[in-house]
Structure 1
Amino acid sequence: MAEQGVLLIVCGPSGVGKTSLCRALLEARPRLTPSVSYTTRARRGQEVDGQAYHFVDVPTFEAMIEREEFAEWAKVHGNYYGTSSKVIEAAWAQGRDVLFDIDYQGARQLKERYPHATTVLVAPPDMATLEGRLRGRGTDAEEVIERRLKAARHELNQHELFEFLLENRDFDAALGALSAIYDSARHARAMKVDWLNALLKES
């Protein structure tokens, strides 16, 4: 197994801005690489296989579950999503850290498997702001918006799973806070203890 790097797990309800924050963080911190999940959902728009997701059919995904190839997986809104352990290992072998933009179910599984992982829950300043962002998209029917708001409350209620709670009231301030969390994670004792022990053994 490759030497473990940082696993930064960012979660949050639809419309909270976590994906935009993750994209900006990837640009600002080149050591980070995004985890590309496997999914059984259909492609949208100009999505390219291997970039947004690895798109597979249900039998393929379920066979991967049977072979225990996933570090985490979940069924969300009727579709499977999962992270291959090989993706994490490959990133670590290249000296990279891994950024996850996933739901709380995946975060729980990853934290159980990799206890040193850093978990962040992105939250809106208030539910009215979140509702306004969802409606501002102009892409979802009323029942979809209501379902997303209900799901948002449920996800935010899972806050005890997370080490950091990040309010996305102002994007630049939230990005600064997320950057600081990542930078701190790189210097956590779990990341540096092998290096320090080696230093102490020097004659």
Structure 2
Amino acid sequence: GKDTIVSALKLQPEFHRIISHTTRPPRENFGVMEVNDEAYHFITHDEAGAMVRPHEFVEAKYVHGNVYGTSVAEFQKIADKQQIAMTDIDIQGVKEYLAIKPDTHAIFLLPPSASEWENRLIKRYGILENHREDIIKRLTTARYELNDAMRDERFVVVVNDDLEQTILRVLGVAKGDIDHTSDMAQSISDELLAYIEQKISTLDA
């Protein structure tokens, strides 16, 4: 997924990952617990409110009951090092970046197929039917974001099929060498949207 891509890009000397702030608690991913100031800066709702009021966030969103935001200080730290800032945030956060800095390179990653995406969901949640509410919420968000990214020409949609090739494509977008979404990405997008509709209908029955 995107975490693997971000980890690989962090090895490139010109890139530096922005660490976002969030009020959600650390969680376990594939047996590994998230570490504060590495995965996110984990903060309380009161701390988030104190940062919002004096405009210490470049962008901040309330998602599924929690605040996610990127601080001005994070950008300044990366600018001081003369590196390329990268982050993985939701589509609304990306649009806020684009409004502030229109030459931002926006990349939307897709799994190679609906079946592979379902496998990734099962790895995270186990039996999907045991987490109906969470899965429906996640799929509903994915449907909105996927439709939005495919309609917005500022996004380059990249299929995450082969890790090495995906990293090369992402590097190409980040450096301005690739500026369009492939026909394959459009086809997989249609497949994913059909899967989402079917899965929501099944889980909501």
TM-score between both structures, scaled by the size of structure 1? 0.75
Q: Would you say the 8 A contact 1:88–1:98 is kept in 2?
A: yes
RMSD: 1.9
Q: 1:152 and 1:131 mapped to 2: Cα distance?
A: 13
TM-score between both structures, scaled by the size of structure 2? 0.74
Q: 1:162 and 1:73 mapped to 2: Cα distance?
A: 20
Q: Would you say the 8 A contact 2:125–2:131 is kept in 1?
A: no
Q: 1:106 and 2:96 equivalent?
A: no
**How many Å apart are 1:66 and its aligned residue?**
0.9
Residue of structure 2 equivalent to 1:181 = 173
Residue of structure 1 equivalent to 2:5 = 21
Residue of structure 2 equivalent to 1:120 = 107
Residues 61-106 of structure 1 deviation map (CA, whole Å, 9 limit, x = unaligned): 0121111111111111111010001210121111111111111111
Tell me which moved more, 96-105 or 43-52: 43-52
After the TM superposition, which residues 182-201 of structure 1 pair with which residues of structure 2 at under 5 Å, given as runs? 182-184=174-176
User: Relative contact order (C-alpha < 8 Å, sep 6+): which is higher?
Assistant: 1
Q: Secondary structure at the match of 2:25?
A: coil
Greater than 4 Å deviation, 4+ residue runs: none
Question: What amino acid sits opposite 1:156 in the alignment?
Answer: L
Question: What amino acid sits opposite 1:105 in the alignment?
Answer: Q
After the TM superposition, which residues 28-43 of structure 1 pair with which residues of structure 2 at under 5 Å, given as runs? 29-43=12-26
Q: 1:32 and 1:83 mapped to 2: Cα distance?
A: 17
Q: 1:154 and 2:144 equivalent?
A: yes
User: Structure 1 pair 128/162, CA: closer, same or farther in 2 (3 Å)?
Assistant: farther
Aligned match for 2:62, one of 75, 79, 93: 75
Identity value in percent: 30
Q: 1:161 and 1:111 mapped to 2: Cα distance?
A: 12
Runs (5+) with no aligned partner, structure 1:
1-16, 186-203
Q: 1:130 and 2:120 equivalent?
A: no
Q: Would you say the 8 A contact 1:108–1:161 is kept in 2?
A: no
Q: 1:138 and 1:55 mapped to 2: Cα distance?
A: 22
**How many Å apart are 1:125 and its aligned residue?**
3.0
Residue of structure 2 equivalent to 1:166 = 158
